[in-house]
Amino acid sequence: MDSVFSILYGLEDDAYRKRPGISQSELKVAMDCPQRLEAMRRGIRQPETPAMFEGKLLHSSGLEPDTFEQTYAVCGPRNTKAGKEQAREIEAAGQIAITQAQWNKAMGFRLALAQNPLAASFLSSGEPEVSIFSEDEETGLAIKGRLDWIQPNGTIVDLKTVGAGKASPKEFAKQVASFKYHMQSAHYLELAQADRFVFIVVEREPPFLISVVELDQAALIEGENIRRRALRIVADCELSGDWPGYTPELQTLSLPSWAFEY
C-alpha cells in the first residue's frame, strides 16, 4: 500500500504538474511506449487540442463555478476589430477569452449536472481538484494524482465528458477498457486510501445526457494489476536509463480479420 504524505487543496494545475511524481496518465503512456514518457519528461508534449480545451472548460464550469467565472470571459467574434480588441483586454486582465457559444455550452453543462439528482448528490459536498502526492512502496517511485472531486467520506468522484451516445453505461464500459479508466480508479483509490470511486459521465452536446457508474471488483483488480505493471516498467526504465520505443526489430504484421473480404 502507498502511504499518503501530502494532500493539497486548491493547488493550481501548473503547480501540480511541476511537482515530482508519476500520474495515472503518465502510467498509461509508459505502458504504450516508455520512450514517449521520457520525451514528455523533457518537455515534449502534445499541444492542447480544441477537444482538450473544451474538456477543461466544461470541467471548470461543472466543478468550480466560481473559478470558472474568474478564469473565462466572453468576447465578440475575433474576426472583427472589436472582438480582437476585446480578447486582448480580457487576456491582459489575466483571463481566457471564449466565445458566447462556448460560454452557453458550459452553462448548459453545469445546469444538466445540477438537475440530475444522482450526479448532484455526489457533488453536493466535498472539494474539487484535490492534489495528492505519495510514494509507491514497491518501486520507490514518487507518484501523484489530481482528483476531480472528493467527498468528506472519502468517496472519489471523477467527471468524464464524452461524445453523443457515449454516456450510456454499455458504451462507457468500452471506453473504460480502451482508455484504462480502471487503472486510473485503482491509482486514485490507492493514493487517497479510499474505498469508493464513482464516474459521472456527461455527453458534451445538448441535452448533456448523464450516467453515474462505478466499477465492479473484477475491474478494479485488473486496474491495479496493470497499474502495478506500469509502475514496474517506469522503475525499470529509470534504473537502466533505457526507454524503449515501439519495437527494436523489424516486425511482420497480419491484417485484422475484418479487413479480409473473403
Would you place residue 15 in the very low, low, confident or very high pLDDT band (cuts 50, 70, 90)?
A: very high
For residue 165, the model assigns a pLDDT of 94
- Three-class secondary structure of residue 141 per DSSP: coil
Per-residue pLDDT of 132-160, as tens digits, reads 999 999 999 999 999 999 999 999 999 99
CA 216 to chain centroid, in Å, comes to: 20
1 against 104, higher pLDDT: 104
Q: Can you give the pLDDT at residue 1?
A: 54
Q: What is the pLDDT of residue 166?
A: 96
Residue 253 C-beta-side C-alpha neighbours within 13 Å: 5
| Class level of CATH domain 3-40+47-238 | alpha beta
pLDDT tens digit sequence for 48-98: 899 899 999 999 999 999 999 999 999 999 889 888 999 999 999 999 999
Looking at residue 3, its pLDDT comes to 55
pLDDT on residue 2: 55
The pLDDT assigned to 261 comes to: 85
Please list, in sequence order, all residues whose beta carbon lies within 8 angstroms of the beta carbon of residue 120, skipping any fewer than 6 positions away.
Answer: 113, 114
Provide, rounded to the nearest whole percent, the portion of the chain with pLDDT above 70.
Answer: 98
Looking up cell 484504462 gives 180
Residue in 240, 153, 211, 148 with CA at minimum distance from that of residue 185 = 148
Residues in CB range of 119: below 8 A, 6 or more apart: 113, 200, 202, 210, 212
- Helix (H/G/I), strand (E/B), else coil: 201: strand
Instruction: For residue 238, give the DSSP letter.
Output: H
CA dihedral 61, 67, 70, 71 (to 10 degrees): -70
Domain regions of the chain by residue span: 3-40+47-238
**pTM for this model (two decimals):** 0.92
Q: What is the pLDDT of residue 48?
A: 86
Report the C-alpha dihedral over residues 57, 215, 228, 253, rounded to 10 degrees.
Answer: -80
Q: How confident is the model at residue 46 (pLDDT cuts 50, 70, 90)?
A: confident
Q: Taking the C-alpha atoms of 236, 186, 147 and 145 in order, what is their torsion angle to the nearest 10 degrees?
A: -10
